[in-house]
Structure formats: structure tokens, C-alpha cells
Amino acid sequence: MQISLYTEKLLIPVLDRIQQSSTIYILTAFAMKSGVSLLKSALAEAAERGADIKLLTGDYLYVTQPDALKELASIHEKIEVRLWRSSGISFHPKAYLFESKAQGHSIIGSSNLSRSALTNGVEWSVGIFENEEKLLFEEASRKFIDLFQAENTIAVNLETAKRYEDEYIDFHQQHPNLARTWTKQEEQELMLPGEEKPDPDSMVLETQENYSVLAPRFAQIEALEQLHSTVEDGYKKAMVVMATGLGKTYLAGFFAQNFGKVLFIAHLEEILHQSAESFLNVMPDKTAGIYNGRQKNPDADLLFASIQTLSMKRHLEVFDPEEFDLIVVDEFHHAAAASYQKVLDYFKPSFLLGVTATPDRADNRDVYALCEGNVAYKIDFLEAIQRTWLSPFQYYGVYDETDYSKLTWRGTKYDQEELMAVQLKTEQAAHILQSWKTYRKTRTLVFCSSIRQADFLSSYFADNGYRTVSLHSRQKQVNRKDAAQALADGELDAIFTVDLFNEGVDIPAVDTLLFVRPTESLTIFTQQIGRGLRLHPEKDHCVIIDLIGNYRNADIKLSLFDTRPSTEKKEKIIEPVVPLSCSVDLDMQVINLLKELTKKRQPRKERLLNNYQMVKEELGRRPSYLELHLYGELSAQDYKSEFKTLFSFLNWANELTAAEQEVFLQHENWLQEAEGTGMSKSYKMIVLLAMLERGMDDWYKPVTALEIAQFFHTYLMSKEYRKRIDFSDGQSTKLWDYNQQKTAGLIERMPMTKWSGSSKGLAVFNEGEFFFLINPDSSEKETLYSWTREICEYRLHQYFERRTALTFTVS
């Protein structure tokens, strides 16, 4: 190991290492355009030679310049850049991490990404060269990836840079004396320690129920049947949505018995160890290994890897792209989606299975996209309760008079200082204690917003005679496993926690959940509800005590408890229809509050626009029809329902150029026809796809059924699921062996004749020839061709998405 001190001109060693390194990670509190300009040429060259390059900078006090983000976003498409959304909490790291085959070189100190800091400014940094094991670099790079993939980071591209620029301008207009504001903020933070991530090595592991005979049960049986059917149908990807407590990890283990080498990917390290144990219980003759920042066992039959490690190029390329027969993706946060995509683009497994516990598309849209929308099996916690597979609940909505409308919203959460100011009051604690005493059972988990709130409320409850503990990442005096066991044994009345029990851990004996935090994320709220629904011999139901104020999502959270089919109106449900064994009891003030909030609910068109903008920002460009369908929180079908065609929406949202708007106005009828024509089978779109294959100059011109018969037959027969879905009735099975005349006859009878008869003259079938009655001029051809292809590909994909049609009768 060699240590160097840099007190000037850090740019020289940084450029030198960029030119030599295969891994380049840069982490700075802020970035200036002047600093980016010094590095961009060297970074672009490194990207061209295939280096793994990631940059993370922050928005703390909006020091980072918008132009710097725009520059970073445009250096090279293979460079990943993310922005840390600080929510007002200080963000001050400065590190430049480099690795080549021979060396790891970590430069850590005071230099941000600016010309001054890298050249003539007074900055001190320590450079550490390591050979062989490179232990410090390994640790530093693992910590960097944790930050890079954190939930509060966003991808930097030209779209997100534009949004940041608006926030930057607004912030500096409101804070003209930024230096004085900064100083005051720093002083406050010396007294207000920030939140920390849980230490995986000290987490409480979920208690697995004993299986006297280890075999699939309950929902696992049905899910396995559907998964096997999915494989038989020729699908290569699928997802299972299974409520917390139903054993999705064991399900994945049972399914993995049919494959050779298996890779299980998760975003939390404690889940890796827990999942490895579950898989070995199913397959004791197999070997299991962990692959993360500290352990690496790449040759195991069952490999459990953290996405933080696997997304690093040097670790990913340890494996052959075809090494794994099955890859299982555990549920993950949206910020990690790009890393998952990178990993899954590299591997070529026989099958990809995504598993998640959250039931709604908005919650699991990333895994939905990774699995191409193919849902093999789905069961939420309400249906599981109806089938007696999870515990019933009694929900009490208690009014919280806190006025959240006066708190600053920081993108994903409320400003932490402002939130604590209203939460850490004795009168608020007294209200919470009284509500809990009124409804509680015996063993309580309390979900808090912050460590300070958890400590404050735990002390208040203890001062009033109750046995409590505050359990969080900074708690060193209490062993977490002991605390969990004490709660299960009735030796504690309540555990106050901050996000430790959202995923991967559980205490089945818990019979009371107390929510003293605003519901900022419906995903997290659903996961936390699941902590109390596990079956247990001493529990006949779970009590949920929820403080409800005028915070975001308060008016739609109760829809999570409603058993009626999902509809647009469902979001406005105030008194949900719950399973017969459950109940919902709301304070009258809560009912009045929710009614008032629903009146102010965002109009549908605005929701569609926000959903579109979210996907556009993630991709850094206008999404295609299929991308909007796969990556959005709302289905692309919602755009068709509201606007008749996606392109009508784009016109309404001012997303079309002047030239594109002319194409839209000239050919709106055709776009509506292509999107709206009925599809009891896929045949119309296959004919359209065959015509599109002829190119943008000829696709709409006359074609005969004989000309496209071969394409039509090959398309349907090339995938087992297409053949089974659309080519399996009595007449069609005779066409499995290709016969040009018979296939052409089918095409003429069905898509050509039927489309011609229903299209109001836009589709014509006359004397054996089929064509579309449109005539784009030369300036319109490329755009109309591209849009028509988008519609065709989206509709074919949507048609063949695998969705279970299981319906259950609950007596």
C-alpha cells in the first residue's frame, strides 16, 4: 500500500488514473460546469474503451449547476450519472475511485467537481494505492454503489437536468443569501444527526415457519402450476406478485428445482442470507454461495448476489453470460432499476423470474418492465386473508390534526426538520399513547418517520409505564434479535422502529401495528402492513392503528384495503369493502378530511401527463408506446381510454414538433383506427406488421394474403405461447404444418375481410388485395411509418402478455 497527500492540482493524478482505469467512480457533493469540462474528454475516451464509469453528485442547497448536469448527461451514453436528492440533509462526500487490473487507487478528500477544486484551490486529499487484494477500494466502491443506488437518487439525463434547472432557479430566487443560509443549515445539522442505513450483520432475520414436510402449500401450489405452464408456453420471463407472508422466497426455491445453476439477486444483503437458507431447505443437496462486497463464492450451484456488487463491471464479467439457467430477481427500489437492467442485459438465462410482494403496478413497475409484463401469478394480501392464508385485520383511522400542507415537500418525502418540529411535541405523544391504549392488543410494532421520533415516543411510552425499546440503525445498546424475541415472548409491549421491518424481516407474533408517520409511499405502507398479517397461534387478528392527517396519499391509501375490482374511481374510496373477517373504523374527522382531499384530487389528464413525464425523465427521451406501457405506473391503455390514441395525448401535452403535429392532424383518423380496431385474436396486427416489414414507402400499399402467408405463419409458430393462444382452435390446429393456400385463406377470411368491414373505409380488401386508404406525402412518410410501427408492436406485446385468469370463490 502506498499513500500520497495531494494539496494542489488534483486534476493531474485524476486524469492519469482515468486514462489507465477500467473502473471509474466519482462521488462529489456538487458539480460545476468548469469541473466537468476538465474531465469530459478523458471520460468519453474511457467510456469508448469500455470502462465502467459512474458519477454521483448532489443537489444539497442547489450548489450543483444545471449546466454541469447537462454536460455530464451528454458525455457518453455508457456513462451512468445520478443525482442525490438530499431533502435538505447535508451531503458532503468527495471521492475519486479508480481500478485497473494491477491496482486500486482511492482519492478521498475535500475536492468537489469544479475547476478550482481540481486545479488551484486550497484542497487536501489522500491518495491510496493498493495492489493484490485492494481491500480499501473494495470497501469504498461498495459504499459508493450503496449511495449510487439509493432510493433518493435519480438518473441524470437531459430531461431530469431540465427539471433540476427549474428547481435551481426557484431555490436561488427564494434564497438570495445562500452563503448565510448554508452556514445556518450546517450549524443545525451538527445537532441533528441524519438517518443511517441498517447494518445487515445485525438485522433480525425473518422467522420461517417449520415445515414438517417441506413441500409447496397454499398460494405456492397455484403459483408453481402457473409458472410451469408459463415455461411450457415458451415464455422466457415472468413475474409473481405474492403478498408478504405467503412464502415467495420458498416459491422461488421450489421453482428453482427444475433448473441447473441459479442466480438470486436482491438489493438488501440480509435477504441474500435468508434466501440462501430457504433455498437450501428445499435443495439440501445443492451448494449455496453469497456474492457481495465481503463474500464471493461464484462457483456455487445457488448463488445469492447483491445488485450493488453485481452491477460493477469487474464483478459482472466474472461470469459467463450463459452461466445461469435461472435468474430470480427479488423486489427492488426504483432507483436500482438501471443497474438491474444492465445486469440482465448481460446474462442470457433460460428463464427470468421476478418476485414481489406489493400488488399494484405502480409499486412494482420496474420488475414489471424487466419481465416484459408477463404476470404468471398474482395474489394480494386481501385475497390471501379471504382464503385464510393471512391474518384478518381491524383498522382504526385516528385523526391527526397536524397540518402537513404547511410542510415543505422534498420530492419523495417531507422536509425532515419541519416534520420533526411538529412530531416531537408532548401533546402529540399523549394523543398517540391514548389512541394506542384504546385499540391495542399485546405486541406492537410502531413505524416512525425518524430516529429522533422513535427515541422520543419510546421514552414517552416508557415514562408512562410501558415496556418499550427504540430499534434503529443507531441503537447500539439493544441487540435486535433479543428485542424481537422479547416482543414475541410478551416481555416488551412495543418496538419503535424506522424502516427496519419493511422488507426481509418479520415477527409473526406481532398483533398490533401503529403508524405515527405520514404515508409518503404506498409501497412501503403495504410492506409494513404485511408485518402484522402473518399467521400465528396466539393471534386471531391484527389491529392497525393509523394516524391520518392531510398528508400526501392520505385520500387514496384506504383503496389498498378494498376488495372491489380496480377501477379509476377506486382511488376515491373512503370506506372500503374489506373481507368479511376484517373491519375499518374511521374517526368522523378522518372521514370529513378524506372527503375534502378527494375533491382536490389531481384530474385524470394531469395524472397521465405526470406518468408520461416520469418515464420520459427516466429514459432521457420521449418513450415509445411500448416503453410507456412497460415503465409507467399507469397502463398505456389509460391513454387510449382518455385520448383514443397516444399521439392525441402527445399533441395535447405539446410533445410534438411542428412537423409531427402536421402529420398528426393529417392522419389522426388512421392512428385511431390502428389503435382502436378490435382484436379478439392477434391476426390484424400480424398482417400490419408484415406490411410494415416492406418499409416506409410501401407498407400501406396493396398486398395479397399469399404474399404474407409465410410471415404470418412463422410469426405465430415461432413462439409456443403464440401458437397456443391464437392457433389452437379446431380449424387453426390444422394449420400448424405450413400450407400456403390454407394459411392465405385464413388471412383473407379473418383479418382482411373483418378489418375492411369495420374500418369505415380506411382498410380495404378488394379483389384479393388488402391495403390502407392513406396517402402520406414524402415529408410525412417516416413519422407516420414510425408511429404505426409503435402502435403495432405495443398492441402485439400487450395481447400476448401472460396474465393469469384465475378467479376464486371465497365461501
Asked if residue 335 is part of any domain, the answer here is yes
Q: Tell me what the pLDDT averaged over the chain comes to.
A: 87
Most confident of 249-258, 558-567, 588-597: 249-258
DSSP 8-class letter at 508: T
Q: Residue range 556-564: average pLDDT?
A: 86
- Pair 398, 375 in one domain: no
Residues 388-421: b if buried by 16+ CB within 10 A, e if exposed: ebbbbbbbbbbbbebebeebeebeebbebbbbbe
Number of domains in the chain: 4
Asked if residue 612 is part of any domain, the answer here is no
Among 182-191, 648-657, 717-726, the range scoring the smallest mean pLDDT is 182-191
pLDDT score of 131: 86
Helical H runs in 759-805? 781-800
Q: What is the C-alpha to C-alpha distance for residues 473 and 478, in angstroms, rounded to an integer?
A: 11
pLDDT score of 308: 86
- Residue 81: which residues within 8 A CB-CB, separation 6 or more? 54, 55, 56, 57, 69, 72, 73, 155, 156, 157
Q: Residue 17: pLDDT band by 50, 70, 90 thresholds?
A: very high
- Pair 472, 574 in one domain: yes
pTM > 0.85: yes or no = no
Asked if residue 616 is part of any domain, the answer here is no
pLDDT score of 572: 67
Q: Residue range 671-690: average pLDDT?
A: 95
pLDDT score of 191: 35
Q: Residue range 27-40: average pLDDT?
A: 95
pLDDT score of 176: 73
- Pair 367, 400 in one domain: no
pLDDT score of 381: 92
**350, 379, 408 - which closes a domain:** 379
- Pair 159, 58 in one domain: yes
**Is the pLDDT at 571 greater than 70, yes or no?**
no
pLDDT in tens, 610-631: 899 989 988 899 999 999 999 8
Q: Residue range 739-754: average pLDDT?
A: 93
pLDDT score of 730: 60
Asked if residue 242 is part of any domain, the answer here is yes
pLDDT score of 340: 84
Q: Residue range 463-490: average pLDDT?
A: 85
Residue % of the chain over a pLDDT of 70: 90
Q: What is the C-alpha to C-alpha distance for residues 694 and 692, in angstroms, rounded to an integer?
A: 5
pLDDT in tens, 294-334: 777 788 999 999 888 888 888 999 999 999 999 999 876 66
pLDDT in tens, 503-519: 545 789 999 999 999 98
Asked if residue 719 is part of any domain, the answer here is yes
pLDDT score of 733: 66
DSSP 8-class letter at 210: P
- Pair 265, 320 in one domain: yes
Q: Residue range 414-434: average pLDDT?
A: 91
Q: What is the CATH number of the domain that holds 42?
A: 3.30.870.10
**Is the pLDDT at 672 greater than 70, yes or no?**
yes
DSSP 8-class letter at 126: E
**Is the pLDDT at 167 greater than 70, yes or no?**
yes
Asked if 65 contacts 134 with a C-beta cutoff of 8 angstroms, the reply is no
Asked if residue 433 is part of any domain, the answer here is yes
**Chain Cα centroid distance, residue 626:** 17
Q: Residue 182: pLDDT band by 50, 70, 90 thresholds?
A: very low
- Pair 228, 137 in one domain: no
Cα 430 to Cα 362, 434, 451, 546: the distances in Å are 36, 6, 19, 15
Among 119-123, 178-182, 225-229, 503-507, the range scoring the smallest mean pLDDT is 178-182
- Pair 399, 546 in one domain: yes
**Is the pLDDT at 795 greater than 50, yes or no?**
yes
- Pair 721, 769 in one domain: yes
pLDDT in tens, 332-358: 666 567 778 889 899 999 999 999 887
- Pair 532, 447 in one domain: yes
Q: Residue range 396-413: average pLDDT?
A: 85
Asked if residue 623 is part of any domain, the answer here is no
- Pair 735, 778 in one domain: yes
- Pair 462, 569 in one domain: yes
Its domain, for residue 255, covers 219-379
Among 434-443, 552-561, 739-748, the range scoring the smallest mean pLDDT is 552-561
pLDDT score of 271: 85
pLDDT score of 803: 65
Q: What is the CATH number of the domain that holds 441?
A: 3.40.50.300
Q: Residue 197: pLDDT band by 50, 70, 90 thresholds?
A: very low
- Pair 167, 277 in one domain: no
Show the CA angle centred on residue 480, arms to residues 479 and 481, nearest 5°. 95
Asked if residue 386 is part of any domain, the answer here is no
Cα 316 to Cα 298, 301, 339: the distances in Å are 11, 17, 11
